Structure 1
Amino acid sequence: MEKPENKPRPLWQRIPLYLQILIALIVAVLLGIALGAGQPSPSNIVFINNLAIPCNLVLKALRALATPLILLAVLHAFMTATIPGRSGRRLATLLITNTLAAILIGLLVANVLQPGRWGRLAAPSDASEVSKTLDPWGLLQDMVPEAVLKPLVDNNVIQLIFLALAFGIVLRGLKAEQTAQGKTDYLALEQGITLLFEAVIRILHWVIALVPLAVFGIVAKTVALQGFEPFKALGAFIVAVLVALFLQGCYYLSRVYFGSWVSPQHFLAGGSDALLTAFSTASSTATMPITYQAMLEKIGLREASASLGVLVGSNFNNDGTALYEAMSALFVAQVLGINLSLPQQFIVVITSIFASVGAAGIPEAGLVTMTLVFSAVGLPTQYIALLISVDWFLDRCRTAINVMGDMTVSAILDGKQRQLLPAEELTLQSEE
């Protein structure tokens, strides 16, 4: 029986996503200029407004996928991650401190540089949508949902976090008990959660494939109706995010210097392949094997340290994504002339931590969980569309920082004193 011939993929599938977005961006700017560049003809207004329909559909799909993605990601991580007791506690501490540092750096840079002040947009017509404030007792009462599925329907972030943690901790405990008793009843549920998680990721791939079309529509509409004024703030936002990511990279190097036997120079040189792959693919999942290999062969860490930091930690450690989502919330608030108070920024911190856990290791996935961060403080999610035009580049930068965070955790877990690998011990013995 002859094997079926592999049909060549269509041309548009062979073009990298970032290049598709770049082409869409250029064509959109040209169309926007042709339609008036801020002074459109009244006869074209209806057509110009309809250009945003693909972007609106993509944002609706992202909002629909956000809650099941985070819920399943947390449950999947609790059910499948194998973490030793003492190392697990140290790993959890490193991950939490790194993510908190990333978010605080992002908020600090956004508050100091205030990139959103470089441009202005019309505030949303529904003013009540952006008037949420922090009520600690109300937040505590709202934490427990009235029904299990209600947080998924309402996109309620706090209730979703409560449900994910409650079920995740209980399921992990039941798995440990059954494993100790030699039972395997938990396997069916674990496989079901894994299958559902992979199904959501696959649907997410479909939605992300439409991002270039969304970029084309929203950029063409914005240029046609408002000219290039709204994009001035985006330039400042790019600079602010790059500054924050650079500071986060410096934070990682300082932790490696003080907490590991690996020197920062050896750390960067040995991990250069992983960092470049992360930037070029914008996918921490695709980079994972290269990162793991670099930790073992080029930097010389123990297998246990590399496994915990790269293979396990990567499920939870998305510091660049958390930083970006926190800065995006402040940026949109500044563009709209809305002042987010410190309590509201605290809500951004909490939701960004869990949103970063749910961010899948595929390009543009941060756009999905960002909808929950915006909803948590009452920011209108339709303004995420403004970020789509620059997200293709910033996604690559924050993915490199995500991978650098995994490398940092591995290096610190390896300790301040280098432990020789078995092959190195044999070499020393033979030399003696």
Structure 2
Amino acid sequence: MNSEEVLLLFTMIGVVFGVGIGIAFRNINLSNMAIHLIGFPGEIFMNLLKMIILPLISLSIICGLCQLNAKQSGKVGMYSIIYYFITTFMAVFLGIVLVVLISPGKFGQSGGGKVESQYAKQEPPSAFEKILDLIRNVFPENIARSTIQQVESHYNKSDANNFHKKVYVDQMNVLGIIFFCISCGLIMGSLGDKVKSLVEVFNAMDIIVNKAVYLIMLLSPIGIASLIAQKLLEVDNLIATFQSLGMYLVTVILGLIIHLFVTLSLIYFLATKKNPYKFLHGLTPAALTALGTASSAASLPVTFQCLENNNHVNPLISKFVLPVGATINMDGTALYEAVASIFIAQLNGMTLNFGQLITVSITATMASIGAASIPSAGLVTMVMILTAIGLPAESANLILAVDWFLDRLRTCVNVMGDGIGCGFVEHLSEIETAETIGTFPTNIKVDPMENEKSSDDTQNTVL
């Protein structure tokens, strides 16, 4: 077994161990401090992943685009956007069909209604207002500020003199950073040999970051086990929660399974004529990381490794498509929002007409694009969808009891969808590695367990 297979094995053991610890210790009445200490290694692991996200995204996009010409960059961008919108809409459509056919809301009132939502206390933004914020964040006025904060608009509709107020919230503005890095990469690519030395510097920094990613991922078995165990111990009544929302869980999980193993797999097969399940198998470590962290962004480091090491995706494709996809391609979240909003309407005895279903589909699609790639971002956008179909924001309380669980599952689908998107775009773009990489060493393996190789051997090793 090579090092990647060993790490995958230990990560799977970590998932099982975390579930076992979480279930076994539930009857011991552990103190809050004990539960906190169980989750402490996972907290450190998450901090390390978050620490590496900014340099990973920035260097990946710049290094990928600076070595593509304008025509190739246009192809990659066009196919990426087509894939994102088609798969997101198909996820929403599937979710609506399943929740209408199964009607999970008719099986009884949710047991999660006593949980208070932090979002219910706020006046939810409309879909149009959310889109405006999305555009504002794509074009930040201060790129340094974008590394730690993003813009959020507050509207005072009763005061014409103070109607709109921009507020900065403590959350990385990933869209703004991506736009800035895309601009830098395209400009560097257009300058050619004039910036050859600068390109080599960025490639060297990219190699350093990837080596750091490799070292961080060695901690994933412990970190993921810790995160899962802590979350299981924090749920008050695990069995009752799952029983009260059983059919809702079945509907969401069934939708996620169909979307991943049927819809996305079929799209990949039709585009590439290759076995999609072999490709998905190569993304298993990324799926396990998503299961533990519930974050597409935190899963980025291992997703890069899976695509380039296991599935042999051209790094020039993955370095652009994956960071963008982790930010705006949220198939699992879109499906979840469509199912959850209609489920809540059913619980409230409300039958949605065709026009309202169209509203749900459009709002869920746009909301998922604007959803941040952080844990439980779907709950924030859920409030917006409920408002769009005339339900009170407080109704989001009904599903909070199981959101921690579904959050992990939909993140897995988001991450796997991003990975399939890279394979889809690579095939359609028809970019030949030998022509695009040239003399720049982008494919350097960073496995510290192997002996040092000569420079010629190193440049021919797949990252």
* Structure 1 pair 283–231 and aligned structure 2 pair: CA distance change class (3 A): closer
* Structure 1 pair 103–396 and aligned structure 2 pair: CA distance change class (3 A): same
Output the CA distance in 2 between the equivalents of 1:231 and 1:415.
Answer: 42
Tell me which of 373, 378, 385 is aligned to 1:373.
385
Q: Does 1:245 align with 2:215?
A: no
Greater shift, 251-260 or 380-389, is seen at 380-389
Give the gaps of 5 or more residues in structure 2: 1-17, 30-56, 66-72, 114-121, 151-167, 173-230, 439-455
Letter in 1 for 2:149: L
Output the CA distance in 1 between the equivalents of 2:274 and 2:319.
Answer: 17
Structure-to-structure mapping, 1:285-296, within 5 angstroms: 285-296=297-308
Q: Deviations over 1:354-391 (max 9, x none)?
A: 32233322322222221112122122222322212111
* Structure 1 pair 276–189 and aligned structure 2 pair: CA distance change class (3 A): same
* Structure 1 pair 155–267 and aligned structure 2 pair: CA distance change class (3 A): same
Structure-to-structure mapping, 1:211-250, within 5 angstroms: 216=236, 232=243, 234-249=245-260, 250=262
Q: Does 1:336 align with 2:345?
A: no
Q: Percent identity?
A: 30
Output the CA distance in 2 between the equivalents of 1:90 and 1:104.
Answer: 21
Tell me which of 287, 293, 312 is aligned to 1:300.
312
| 8 Å CA contact 1:215, 1:388 repeated in 2 | no
Deviation, 1:121, is 6.9
Q: Does 1:402 align with 2:414?
A: yes
Structure-to-structure mapping, 1:337-352, within 5 angstroms: 337-352=349-364
Letter in 2 for 1:157: S
Alignment match, 1:270: 282
What's the TM-score once normalised by structure 2's chain length? 0.56
Q: Deviations over 1:150-184 (max 9, x none)?
A: xxx85331331452366467x4xxxxxxxxxxxxx
Deviation, 1:306, is 1.2
Q: Does 1:200 align with 2:170?
A: yes
Output the CA distance in 2 between the equivalents of 1:419 and 1:87.
Answer: 9
Q: Deviations over 1:94-128 (max 9, x none)?
A: 10111101111111110111111101479x9xxxx
Output the CA distance in 2 between the equivalents of 1:381 and 1:417.
Answer: 43
Aligned length: 303
| 8 Å CA contact 1:261, 1:416 repeated in 2 | no
What's the TM-score once normalised by structure 1's chain length? 0.60
Q: Which runs of 4+ in 1 moved over 4 A?
A: 80-83, 165-169, 211-216, 230-233, 416-427
Alignment match, 2:105: 116
* Structure 1 pair 329–213 and aligned structure 2 pair: CA distance change class (3 A): farther
Q: Does 1:160 align with 2:149?
A: no
| 8 Å CA contact 2:371, 2:378 repeated in 1 | yes
Q: For 1:415, what is the secondary structure of its paired residue? A: helix
| 8 Å CA contact 1:274, 1:403 repeated in 2 | yes
| 8 Å CA contact 2:127, 2:366 repeated in 1 | no
Q: Deviations over 1:208-263 (max 9, x none)?
A: xxx999965xx79xx9xxxx6x9755100111111100110111111111112642
Output the CA distance in 1 between the equivalents of 2:396 and 2:84.
Answer: 27
Q: Does 1:101 align with 2:107?
A: no
Output the CA distance in 1 between the equivalents of 2:251 and 2:388.
Answer: 23
Output the CA distance in 2 between the equivalents of 1:212 and 1:358.
Answer: 29
* Structure 1 pair 215–348 and aligned structure 2 pair: CA distance change class (3 A): farther
Output the CA distance in 1 between the equivalents of 2:248 and 2:384.
Answer: 20
Alignment match, 1:384: 396
Tell me which of 353, 369, 373 is aligned to 1:361.
373
Root-mean-square deviation (Å)? 4.2
* Structure 1 pair 299–100 and aligned structure 2 pair: CA distance change class (3 A): same
* Structure 1 pair 261–377 and aligned structure 2 pair: CA distance change class (3 A): same
Q: For 2:170, what is the secondary structure of its paired residue? A: helix
* Structure 1 pair 342–193 and aligned structure 2 pair: CA distance change class (3 A): farther
* Structure 1 pair 270–102 and aligned structure 2 pair: CA distance change class (3 A): same
| 8 Å CA contact 1:306, 1:410 repeated in 2 | yes
Give the gaps of 5 or more residues in structure 1: 1-17, 31-76, 125-152, 172-185, 203-210
Letter in 2 for 1:105: L
Q: Deviations over 1:27-78 (max 9, x none)?
A: 9xx9xxxxxxxxxxxxxxxxxxxxxxxxxxxxxxxxxxxxxxxxxxxxxx9x
* Structure 1 pair 413–297 and aligned structure 2 pair: CA distance change class (3 A): same
Q: For 1:201, what is the secondary structure of its paired residue? A: coil
Output the CA distance in 2 between the equivalents of 1:231 and 1:343.
Answer: 32
Output the CA distance in 1 between the equivalents of 2:61 and 2:257.
Answer: 30
Structure-to-structure mapping, 1:53-92, within 5 angstroms: 84-92=73-81
